[in-house]
Structure 1
C-alpha cells in the first residue's frame, strides 16, 4: 500500500490540485482604506478578519514569558488592529449596516473592574493594554486608583450638625430615660436608707457603751493620777542627781591666770626682744642688761 507522500506526488493528484487552484479566486488583500470598500458584505468580512487577528494576538499576549519588548510590540499591534476595526465599523454604519461599536466590550483592570481607557503620553487617545502588558513597568500604575483624600471638616461643618439633641435637651421626650432613672433612683434611695439605719445602730451602741464607761471612769482616773505623780517624782530625782554630778565636775583653778593687759605686755616685750636681737650686737645687749640690773629694772 502506497504511503500518503507517494500519493500526493502522483501525477493524478497533482493534476487535481492544480485544477482546484485554478478554480479558486485569487486571494484578496484587505483594502488599506475602509472608504475604498463599497459593499456592506465585504466591509463586514474585513471586519471579521480583523477580529480574528485581534483574537490570536490577544491569546498570544497572555504569556508573561515573552519578554517586555515582545509584549509591547504585541500590544502595539493589537491597538493598531483595534483602530483599523473602528474604521471599518464606521464604514459599515455609512453603508447602512449595524452599529458594532455600541456593544463593544469595556476595558478592565487586573481585578476585572471596568476602568476608563488610560491615555499615557505619546500613545494617543484610546490606547489599551491587554494580558501581560498590564503588568509591565510603568503600566501597573495607570490602573491603580489614587488614594482618597479625606477632606478635613471645618468648624462650620462641625457646628452645622449640632442641634438641641447634642446638648441633651430632648433626652426625656421618648420617656425611656425617665423609666431608667426611676429604677436607678429607687435603688439608690434603698441603699441610702440602709446606710442610714446602719449608722444609727452604731450610734446607739456607742451611747450605751459610753454610759457603762462613765461608771468606771472615776476609779480609772484615780489610778492614772497616782501613776502620773510617781512618774513626776522620778523625773525630779533624776534631774537633781544630774545637777549634782555637774557641780562635782566643775574645774577648780589653783594657779592665777594673766589677764588681757598682761598678755598684751608680754607679747610686746617678746617682739621688742626679737627686734633687738636682730639689729643690736651682743655687746650692746649685755651692757643694756647690766644697766637694768644696776637700776633694778625688771622689765
Structure 2
C-alpha cells in the first residue's frame, strides 16, 4: 500500500454512501427494484472512484485524471439519455402518463446525482491528504453530503399552492370542480361513475410565479400521474371518459384537479398531491427577473 490508498478508499466509500442515500424507490416505483438500482449503484461507484483518484493523480503530476473526468461527464450524459429513453418507452403503457416534462426532470436528477458523488469523494480525499487525518476527511465528507442533500431537495406542490378538496358536480353534461369546467360527459352511466369514484381538488397558487408553474401542462400531468400511482386509478384502456384531468380557471389561475382513485381518502389524496415535486422545467421566476430588470433601469 502507498500513501494514497487510504485517502482514495475513504473517498470512494463516502462518495458511494452519498449516492446510495440519494437512491430511493418511493411510491412512484422508480428506480425499480432490483435491477434498476444495480445500474445506478454501479454508476455511483464509478463516479466516487473518479472523484477520489483525481487529487492523488494531480499530486503525482499525472494529469490524465482530468481526461477521465471529462470522459465521465460524457458517460453520465449517456445515463441521462438512457433514463429518458427508458421512461418514454414505459410511459406508453401507463394508464396515466408521466409526461415528457416529468421524464426529463427524472433523467436530469439521475445525471446530477453522479456529479454530486464525484464532488463528495473529491472533497473527502482532498481533506484527508491536506490534513493527513482520517477525521478531517470524514468531517468534510459529512459536510459535502449535507450540501448534496440540500442541493437535491426541491420544492413541492404544497409549497406553491393551497390544496382544497371540493365535491364534484354536473351542470347538464358539464363536469365542474367549484366553478372550474373540467370536461363534457353526456352518458348518465359515466356521470354516475365519475361522481362515485372521482374526487376533485382546487389548487390555489400562492404567488404569480406559482400561478405560471401550475399552468405548465407537464407540471399538471405530474400531479395526475403521482396521484394515480399512489392511490390507484379507476380506469382501463378504451375508457376516454374515465381519465384524470387538470384544468385552469383562466381568471385567477386556480387549477381544478380531477382524480379517480381506487382509495377514497380525500385527506391522503391531498397529501399526495402536495408531495408532488415542482418540476425544474416548469418553475418560473418571472417576478424576480422583473425586479432585477427594474433595478438595472
Higher gyration radius (CA):
1
Structure with the largest fraction of strand: 2
**Whose relative contact order is higher, 1 or 2, with alpha carbons under 8 Å and at least 6 apart?**
2
Structure with the largest fraction of helix: 1
For the aligned pair, the TM-score class normalised by the smaller chain equals: under 0.3
**TM-score for both structures, normalised by structure 2:** 0.20
